Structure 1
Amino acid sequence: MPPRLSSLFLILILALAPVARSTAQSIRLPDIGDPSQAYFGPDEEQRMGLDILRQLRERGAVVDDVQSNEYLDSIGQSIAIYADQNGAPFTFFMVRDSSINAFALPYNFIGINAGLLLATQREDELAGVIAHEIAHVSQHHIVRAIADMKRMTLPMAAAMVAGAALAAASKQAGQAAMVGAMAAGAQHQISFTRANEQEADRIGMQLLARAGFDPRGMSDFFAKLERMAGGEARNRVPEMLLTHPRPENRAADTQDRIEIPPVRRTAPRDRKAYDLAKARVRVLATDDNNSLIRDIETLLAKGGYASETAERYAYALALRQAGRYDDAQRQVDRLLKNDPDRLAFRIEAAELALARENRTQGWRLFEEARQIYPDDFTLAMHYGRALATQGDPKLAMRLMQPHLRRRPNDPVLYASYAQAAQRSGDVAATHATMAEYHYLNGELLSAIEQLEQGLRNPGLSPNQEAQLRARLKRIRTEAIAQDLPVPKRDSP
């Protein structure tokens, strides 16, 4: 199988096929009414995107690591500013998956697999994939494909059920049947999807050039996929039954027009940020931390690395994760000596001090970092979460409060703020932010319960009560529309 699966077709198969509804791994799409419509309003797009994202979180597929997601966001936003955002901000997130893939969801949500980041060799390649997915969203490819898929899901799913049954008896026959079922569905929309992919490539390259990235990053990455998919695998699936044009065709196609978009001169990006992001994701994605430590030690001993700084950063993270605090400290000290103002290193030093139960030093290091980066979201989250659990919860709330309005789709932020609010005794804020946490994780009934509990608090101000009631009304309406068993209760 080619290393890059269809970012569009695969997510729709998972989202729409009724055969998957009996499993905990299914991703459900809400009922969007007439599937023949090619355009959905912003409310419908938002509901679809949030619903899929919630279910990805339920499956543990979203990597809730602030630094990794902020790095993706820095690239994505620098590209998205030149795209049609369809009235909604773009949200970029890391997916806990080792496969080389990325996908776009309605309402400007874009997921990047950890495996894709690790497979890139330079930031321009990563930016090329992100630009391609941004183009899918800006051109409404996703919602149009959903509408088209809705018309042919049932017969295709029935064929896939038969294929799954065959697979239980004969692996080879079952695989052939399931491939045939997917091919039948793809046949219905293949030219539509190929045209979209080519358009996303063309627009993505223009976006890359305008944002100051090298458009050759896109073609370079396609060429890499061609090499990775070499051998017999390339000839097993007919080209017209693939929802993406073959990587070699795309590489040639993008290479042919590489000179069309002139690259806009921008401030040079921080190359080290890319190396450090890859290093961090390597540690987050590993299933065997001890083996990773041994591999890094071998690389450092032999000098076989692309970036010594990135290897030592990964080493420090892995050592702390293994509880080897003294060894981790030596690596962090070395990193800070060479790059004392690097926020990632300052955060690691502070968190390492707290892990060693040296709170005085940990708070001092966090405060020193805050003097340099007073409004930084990454620092606010790391510092705020530490304060929420073992420090001053009111300071934690002050640090995170400004970001609640700026990042309304971040459940980790809401959970951290709720924890700080609970420790500080702010009952209204605790229930309000826990409600948002549950809402963003698809737990609408739990969100309703939190808001109702908050409204029972006798110490509410008129403004707090009005805000809680307004939010409760909206979530109850949404839950009823989804046929959830919303209990009828008297007003709290």
Structure 2
Amino acid sequence: MISSFVFRRFFSLALLATVFVAAKSSAQSLGSDKNTLPEIGVVASEALTLDKEILIGDAIMRQMRGQAPIIGDPVINEYIQDLGNRLVLQADNTKFPFQFFVINNNAMNAFAFYGGHVGVHTGIITAADNESELASVLAHEVTHVTQRHLARRALSQQRSSPLALASMFGSILLAMANPEAGIAALSTSQAMSAQMGIDYTRSNEQEADRIGIDILYAAGFDPKATASFFGKMAEQYRMSSRPPERLLTHPLTEKRIADARIRMDGYPNVRLAPSKSFHLAKARIQARYQFKPDYALEYFIAVNDSGSYLIKEAAQYGLAVALFENEKYEEAKTINDALMQGDNENLFYLDLATDIDIALGKPQDAIAMLERVLKQKPRNSVVVLNLANALVSSKQYTRSIEILRDYLLVHPQDEIAYQILTDAYKGEKQYMGMHRSKAELLALYGAYPNAVDELQHAYNFTGDNHLEKQRIRARIQQFRDEQEKLKQMQ
């Protein structure tokens, strides 16, 4: 596993609050008659342009990276992005390149925000019994984005105080990633009475349900999964204390469940074989993120012994991951090697095999395996990142730098890649490159002043290389321009 980057809290939630105030203020000059809204698909474009929505979404995502426990796991990221893309392909009005990501939180929650960003908690993935149930949640969130519900909500909030929105935004953002902390923050806020644009109206929810089910079916999933997953969520809330309604980004009512079940009658029965990738992802999350190592080991031993699984390989994989987390590397290798014999290019198995080889002090074995797969999948993020990490472990820094620089041309916002690249430059004692890579990583968290500082350190290592001096000066100016764009939105 490539570990998540550990970072400081570089800048305040207030920055994102001002961004949201800008979105709110842009709607204040418009009329208040909701019946004057344009057709679905271009609705609220006069309240918030697509360009501004992308800018706001990018700023929020940078803040989320610095505030929320986003899982920096290339295998999970690859899986959730692929699943989301299958749904986006069936959606209309896709104005943005969607980005799907996973929050390490056991609560059953998911959310979408400006610019095509969709976050899903690990609790959703582990609560789902099948891939269609998980896909039903993502389809719902995709619809919120394509129908521009946030922009429409901003339009309806013209009478709210911008200061109230600013004071509330930090708590709302925190609540999306950590409901308990968000509730505590909101309970002390004078802005509790203000309705923030992250909640959706009842009509928004009905629309997202209706269109989301259509997307789900068109993408080849079982549309009945929507109603079945609603039932799971309702049961969970019955068995536990329910958060305040205003904090539920998608209020779940009995009527919504009933409407979804009625809607199911219009679709044919869809019978699907269990998804191996879904069950592997679920097992990985349980063994590596949800359970403590000792409990994970007990759990997967029991699952394998009892045969209580749909996909045998997923149960064995979960056990292998649990063994690895308990530092039983040889036992983990025995199981994972057996799995790879039947599927030697499976990304879940390749990632674990790399972890095991590095832990056993045999990164060369991982490199040989991954170089072979790279020929077949030269652009795959799991293969590239694991190979780069193994190369750093074997002190082959130059090769790691080479493949990461090529990879980042296509994936310029991959913080894991910048983390490994920083280590590679440091190992190679290329301090200019190390500081430049750090700067790019900091910029991904919106910490532009800190990023500029790193570039200024890099400048001190340029020597007589005038081309590099020019490049660094230009990048410093770009960071300052990005920071200025955010200030101008206030």
> What TM bracket, shorter-length normalisation?
0.7 to 0.9
Distance 2:458 2:58 in 1: 24
Match of 1:458 among 454, 463, 475: 463
Distance 1:475 1:237 in 2: 40
Distance 1:36 1:219 in 2: 35
Distance 1:427 1:383 in 2: 22
Match of 2:351 among 347, 361, 369: 347
Distance 2:99 2:77 in 1: 9
Distance 1:73 1:192 in 2: 24
Match of 1:364 among 356, 362, 368: 368
Task: Output the amino acid matched with 1:202.
Answer: R
* Number of residue pairs matched by the alignment: 443
Q: Which residue of 2 aligns with 1:403?
A: 407
Change (3 A) 1:472 1:43: farther
Q: Which residue of 1 aligns with 2:39?
A: none
Match of 1:36 among 27, 44, 52: 27
Match of 1:299 among 285, 296, 303: 303
Is 1:387 aligned with 2:391? Answer: yes
TM-fit CA distance, 1:89: 1.0
SS in structure 2 at match of 1:104 = strand
Task: Output the amino acid matched with 2:308.
Answer: G
Contact 1:102 1:112 in 2 (8 A): yes
Q: Which residue of 2 aligns with 1:59?
A: 67
TM-fit CA distance, 1:115: 0.6
Change (3 A) 1:396 1:310: same
TM-fit CA distance, 1:405: 2.8
Between 1 and 2, higher relative CO (CA 8 Å, sep ≥ 6) is seen in 2
Is 1:423 aligned with 2:427? Answer: yes
TM-fit CA distance, 1:134: 0.8
Task: Output the amino acid matched with 1:458.
Answer: G
Contact 1:72 1:92 in 2 (8 A): yes
Contact 1:194 1:243 in 2 (8 A): no
Q: Which stretch shows the higher mean deviation, 32-41 or 298-307?
A: 32-41
Distance 1:270 1:459 in 2: 60
TM-fit CA distance, 1:241: 10
Q: Per-residue CA shift, 1:273-311, capped at 9, x if unaligned? A: 111000111123235211211122122222223332112
Match of 1:143 among 151, 154, 161: 151
Q: Which residue of 2 aligns with 1:8?
A: none
Task: Output the amino acid matched with 1:258.
Answer: M
Kindly report which structure 2 residues correspond to 1:274-313, keeping only aligned pairs within 5 A, or say none: 274-286=278-290, 288-313=292-317
TM-fit CA distance, 1:112: 0.6
TM-fit CA distance, 1:206: 2.0
Q: Which residue of 2 aligns with 1:200?
A: 208
Q: Which residue of 1 aligns with 2:141?
A: 133
SS in structure 2 at match of 1:365 = helix
SS in structure 1 at match of 2:100 = strand
TM-fit CA distance, 1:481: 5.3
Change (3 A) 1:330 1:406: same
Q: Which residue of 2 aligns with 1:165?
A: none
Task: Output the amino acid matched with 2:463.
Answer: P
Task: Output the amino acid matched with 1:115.
Answer: G
Task: Output the amino acid matched with 2:357.
Answer: A
SS in structure 2 at match of 1:374 = coil
Q: Per-residue CA shift, 1:61-105, capped at 9, x if unaligned? A: 111111111100001111112335654311111101110000112
Task: Output the amino acid matched with 1:36.
Answer: A
Match of 1:246 among 237, 252, 266: 252
Q: Which residue of 2 aligns with 1:273?
A: 277
Q: Per-residue CA shift, 1:123-149, capped at 9, x if unaligned? A: 011111111111111111123435655
**TM-score under structure 2 normalisation?**
0.78
Q: Which stretch shows the higher mean deviation, 315-324 or 76-85?
A: 76-85
Distance 1:180 1:400 in 2: 44
TM-fit CA distance, 1:332: 1.3
Contact 2:423 2:434 in 1 (8 A): yes
TM-fit CA distance, 1:244: 3.6
Q: Which residue of 2 aligns with 1:6?
A: none
Q: Per-residue CA shift, 1:42-71, capped at 9, x if unaligned? A: 443233223332333223511111111110
Alignment RMSD: 3.8
Is 1:114 aligned with 2:119? Answer: no
SS in structure 2 at match of 1:313 = helix
Q: Which residue of 2 aligns with 1:333?
A: 337
Q: Which residue of 1 aligns with 2:416?
A: 412
Task: Output the amino acid matched with 1:139.
Answer: Q
Q: Which residue of 1 aligns with 2:37?
A: none
Q: Which residue of 2 aligns with 1:169?
A: none
Distance 1:303 1:263 in 2: 28
Distance 2:52 2:166 in 1: 24
Match of 2:236 among 225, 228, 232: 228
TM-fit CA distance, 1:29: 2.5
Contact 1:93 1:111 in 2 (8 A): yes
Distance 2:284 2:198 in 1: 38
TM-fit CA distance, 1:450: 2.2
Structure 1 gaps of 5+ residues are: 1-22, 161-173, 485-492
Distance 2:14 2:189 in 1: 21
Distance 1:86 1:207 in 2: 12
Change (3 A) 1:443 1:231: closer
Q: Which residue of 1 aligns with 2:58?
A: 50
Distance 1:344 1:465 in 2: 42
Task: Output the amino acid matched with 1:130.
Answer: L
TM-fit CA distance, 1:262: 7.8
Is 1:258 aligned with 2:249? Answer: no
Match of 2:83 among 75, 84, 88: 75
TM-fit CA distance, 1:354: 2.0
Q: Which stretch shows the higher mean deviation, 195-204 or 451-460?
A: 451-460
Q: Per-residue CA shift, 1:340-374, capped at 9, x if unaligned? A: 33232133223312211123323222233334433
